[in-house]
Amino acid sequence: MKTAGRTAFLLAAVVAAVLLAPPAFAQCAMCKTALTSSPEGRHMAGQLNLAIMMMVFSPYVIAATVAGVLFRRQIGAWVRGRLPFVG
């Protein structure tokens, strides 16, 4: 039952992060005003928002990759112990 609780907590954390992501698109008022005053500026604002989101999530992706590489052997043993048809 502990695993189900952890999975539910992780799922809830991911959903909360996705729902709270729109405020991350916020920029300072002067930058936003300067960028949205022209069509080129609006395009640049969209690209700036994507760059901000990439900078927010990149460290987590890198940390997950490192953890996956470091714990690959333990994860494989866990899967083989839980799923008899694997292995």
pLDDT band at 29 (very low <50, low <70, confident <90, very high): low
- Residue 39 located in a structural domain: yes
Q: In the chain, how many domains are there? A: 1
Query: Number of C-alpha atoms within 13 angstroms, CB side, residue 3?
Result: 2
- Residue 4 located in a structural domain: no
Mapped to the 3 state alphabet, what secondary structure does the chain carry?
CHHHHHHHHHHHHHHHHHHCCHHHHCCCHHHHHHHCCCHHHHHHHHHHHHHHHHHHHHHHHHHHHHHHHHCHHHHHHHHHHHCCCCC
User: Does pLDDT of 27 surpass 60?
Assistant: no
Identify the sign of the CA torsion 4, 6, 10, 12: positive
From 28, 25, 29, 18, select the one nearest 48 (Cα to Cα): 25
Average pLDDT of the chain? 79
Q: Which of 11-15, 57-61, 76-80 has the highest mean pLDDT?
A: 57-61
Q: Which domain holds residue 65?
A: 24-87
Give the whole-number percent of the chain exceeding pLDDT 70.
83
- Residue 29 located in a structural domain: yes
- Residue 34 located in a structural domain: yes
- Residue 10 located in a structural domain: no
For range 4-12, the mean pLDDT: 81
- Residue 7 located in a structural domain: no
